[in-house]
Structure 1
Amino acid sequence: MSTKTPIFLTGATGYIGGSVLSRLLEHPSADTFDITVLVRDGKKAQILESQFGVKAVVGTHQEHDKIEGLVENAHIVFHLPDPDDVPLIQAILRGMRTRHTKLGDLPILIHTSGTGTLADDARGVYPTDTVYDDLDVEQIKSIRPDAPHRPVDLLIAEADTQGYVRAYIVLPSLIYGFATHRLVKAGVSNSISIQIPFLIRASLARKQAGMIGQGKALWPDVHIDDIADLYLTVFDTAVRDPDAAEHGWNGFYLGENGEHSWYQVSKAIGHVLVGLGISNDPEPTSFTSEELVKYFGSEEDAFSTWGSNSRARGNRGRSIGWKPRHTAEDMLKSITPEVEALVKQR
């Protein structure tokens, strides 16, 4: 009978998921892990199995019975993509409840939410003084139930309260930087984030840096390597010293190491566009209503992220040893290579 720790991970081909899986494969205790992942792409599944020794099951997030069974067989579950899929998290929690009932095991869930759950409706017009601290449990509980990601977060917190899972919820802020680990090099995982590239693509299309409203709203940021380190810090502490890594309502871990205004991001994009001869003026201008629909899908989608305030302080992770290294200044510097890379893709 295997004595290895069974781990199930979703999102292995993604930006966050690939970075976390890469760290698990390089972990000092990696030879004690029995890792299973769910992927849609059969070719990527073959690479994961042949090159990395990971059991890869081909399937989708809509195959809830399959996922429930995979979760039932795992002591630790990393759920890393799609923080808004309620039926998916319900399937995961059913699998964990079944495992707890049958084996008496208390499985661990490490889930990805996001600081978008803190977002307001500033529409780029003003900054807010409201800052969320993850050590302030009552403040975390006060987040409105219909906020982005919140329905899933609430289901997980309730499962922890019921006692059949130890749940840890990681809330990344704006993630930046190229992922360069070996899963990216093998063509398995995504290397680039979403929020800044969206602004870059929109600005390239209009040949002028753009922003929502006046760009005054504030967001925290975190480098991809630092947020991956937070997941592993939570994981290591939860396994080694469960009392140190608090869980449930005490287990919301905000991932940030700096803060920016959306104007700063757009202005940095503008400078690069001028340098590349794409634009004549680095000063960003406000997207029109038509542009918001064209480039972001809808005005509401644009307002909810690129026009909102989402201010956070990740003190809980730091209290258990997380030491992020990259700063907001590093984020602004990272925009130049991201613009250059996206220009080459056009």
Structure 2
Amino acid sequence: MVVKVFVTGATGYVGGTAFDYIYNTHKDNEYTLLVRNEARAQAVKAKYPTAKFVYGSLEDVDIIEQAASEADVVVHTADSADHIASAQAIAKGLEKSHSAEKPGYWLHLSGTGILTWYDLVNGREGQPPLPEQKYHDINDIERIKTLDDRAPHRLIDKIVIGANSDAVKIAILCPPLIYGKGSGAGNTQTIQIPTLVDMTLSEGFAPVVGDGKNEWDYVHIDDLGDLFLKLFNATQDPSKSSNPEIFGANGYFYCPYGTLNFTKIAERAAEEIKKQGYFADVPLKRVTFAEQKKLKGYHPVAETLGHNSKGVAERASKYLGWAPKERTSVEDDVAEVVSQRAKQLGL
């Protein structure tokens, strides 16, 4: 049976890689991709010739609702963690056309930025993680489902969870910081570490928020692509598709490969910038969030560089057999990021 799949964000970093993994494994499926216009679709069409397109933005809720209603599986990655209207449209579309006998599946990209909430609401900057800031995606599932409503992404997660029913099966992927080169037809670069590198190349020093003792988990983009594929496969596997620990309110999937400290990343960025000959000296400089916002090269994602995000993953390995592969470390990836960003900045 041909599976009808609706994908948002196929020109993006995560969505492009997720689609690449699913398409290359299941080329006979019917894929409909939301892109802004025909010009944006050209590169995707060249790489994935059987894909079809609908054109519009995330504000075009009628288009999104209709496409979701026609799909067996929706893969939502385009600003998916924070865009309200598109999430509501997907929920409405899936509910309208599916039943308990033929449910629709929603693979939703959120993120462990949601776990930074405690630091965010308590004004913690660059402080080490507290024991209670660690969340296990099975043992702590009730804590995860009832996170503080002030947490980033929380409002959208609640929309997705609220859509779960016998007719609509949901799974929420929560990747931490992502590194590595994406494999899609559009953007292939991540954002957090490049933002740190941009600020460092622009200012001549590597900014570190507060004491720089905060920690984030990280995962390689290819391991995340593999998790999307395994979840997609599960939608078509009767032994998994009705399992509420995979698809349902409990279906939160964390996927950390390791843990990084941003002081060490800043040090590595400074080291690489000197090694590649852009500056003779690149000192580290302690900054506050307010000071960081004024730096050249700043992007709002940089605020997460001073918070903690700590998740423990077991759900994907237990129920899907997923495991991150041995890859180049996130620290070693900094050298490539420095080279790429320096060229893009014209240095």
| Letter in structure 2 aligned against 1:248 | G
Indicate which of 147, 153, 168 corresponds to 2:151. 147
1:85 aligns with 2:86: no
| Letter in structure 2 aligned against 1:73 | E
Question: Which residue is equivalent to 1:176?
Answer: 179
Aligned residue runs from structure 1 range 146-225, under 5 A = 146-160=150-164, 162-179=165-182, 181=183, 183=184, 188-225=185-222
Indicate which of 42, 46, 49 corresponds to 2:38. 42
Task: Say whether the 8 Å CA contact 2:54–2:63 is kept in structure 1.
Answer: no
| Letter in structure 1 aligned against 2:130 | T
1:65 aligns with 2:62: yes
Paired residue total: 330
1:262 aligns with 2:270: no
Task: Say whether the 8 Å CA contact 1:208–1:273 is kept in structure 2.
Answer: no
Question: Which residue is equivalent to 1:334?
Answer: 333
The Cα offsets for residues 221-268 of structure 1, whole Å up to 9 and x where unpaired, read as 000101111111111123212245622221000121100111111111
* CA distance, structure 2, for counterparts of residue 283 and residue 326 of structure 1: 32
TM-score (norm 2): 0.89
How far off is 1:206 after superposition?
0.8
How far off is 1:163 after superposition?
3.1
| Letter in structure 2 aligned against 1:331 | V
How far off is 1:282 after superposition?
5.1
Task: Say whether the 8 Å CA contact 1:156–1:167 is kept in structure 2.
Answer: yes
* CA distance, structure 1, for counterparts of residue 233 and residue 315 of structure 2: 14
How far off is 1:131 after superposition?
1.1
* CA distance, structure 2, for counterparts of residue 235 and residue 15 of structure 1: 18
Task: Say whether the 8 Å CA contact 2:207–2:287 is kept in structure 1.
Answer: yes
Task: Say whether the 8 Å CA contact 1:257–1:326 is kept in structure 2.
Answer: no
Percent identity, please.
30
| Letter in structure 1 aligned against 2:180 | G
The Cα offsets for residues 119-168 of structure 1, whole Å up to 9 and x where unpaired, read as 032311333223111012112123112211111111111211x4331000
Q: Which runs of 5+ in 2 are unaligned?
A: none
Indicate which of 87, 104, 113 corresponds to 2:110. 113
Q: Equivalent residue of 1:317, what SS?
A: helix
Indicate which of 3, 9, 12 corresponds to 2:7. 9
1:19 aligns with 2:17: yes
The Cα offsets for residues 172-192 of structure 1, whole Å up to 9 and x where unpaired, read as 10000112x3x4xxxx31010
* CA distance, structure 2, for counterparts of residue 106 and residue 336 of structure 1: 46
| Letter in structure 1 aligned against 2:272 | V
Question: Which residue is equivalent to 1:97?
Answer: 95
Task: Say whether the 8 Å CA contact 1:113–1:170 is kept in structure 2.
Answer: yes
* CA distance, structure 2, for counterparts of residue 293 and residue 283 of structure 1: 18
Q: Equivalent residue of 2:6, what SS?
A: strand
Question: Which residue is equivalent to 1:307?
Answer: 306
Q: Equivalent residue of 1:178, what SS?
A: coil
* CA distance, structure 2, for counterparts of residue 243 and residue 6 of structure 1: 19
Q: Which runs of 5+ in 1 are unaligned?
A: none
Task: Say whether the 8 Å CA contact 1:46–1:56 is kept in structure 2.
Answer: no
| Letter in structure 2 aligned against 1:165 | V
The Cα offsets for residues 300-326 of structure 1, whole Å up to 9 and x where unpaired, read as x644x1110000111111112111114
Q: Which moved more, 1:58-67 or 1:48-57?
A: 48-57
* CA distance, structure 1, for counterparts of residue 56 and residue 226 of structure 2: 28
1:135 aligns with 2:132: no
How far off is 1:336 after superposition?
0.5
| Letter in structure 2 aligned against 1:141 | K
* CA distance, structure 2, for counterparts of residue 233 and residue 42 of structure 1: 30
Question: Which residue is equivalent to 2:253?
Answer: 253
* CA distance, structure 2, for counterparts of residue 127 and residue 212 of structure 1: 14
Task: Say whether the 8 Å CA contact 1:128–1:217 is kept in structure 2.
Answer: no
Aligned-residue RMSD, C-alpha: 2.0
Q: Which moved more, 1:150-159 or 1:139-148?
A: 139-148
How far off is 1:50 after superposition?
5.2
1:278 aligns with 2:281: no
How far off is 1:278 after superposition?
3.2
Q: Rate the CA distance shift 1:58–1:139 in 2: closer, same or farther, 3 A.
A: same
Q: Rate the CA distance shift 1:47–1:269 in 2: closer, same or farther, 3 A.
A: closer
* CA distance, structure 2, for counterparts of residue 51 and residue 212 of structure 1: 41
How far off is 1:67 after superposition?
0.8
How far off is 1:30 after superposition?
2.4
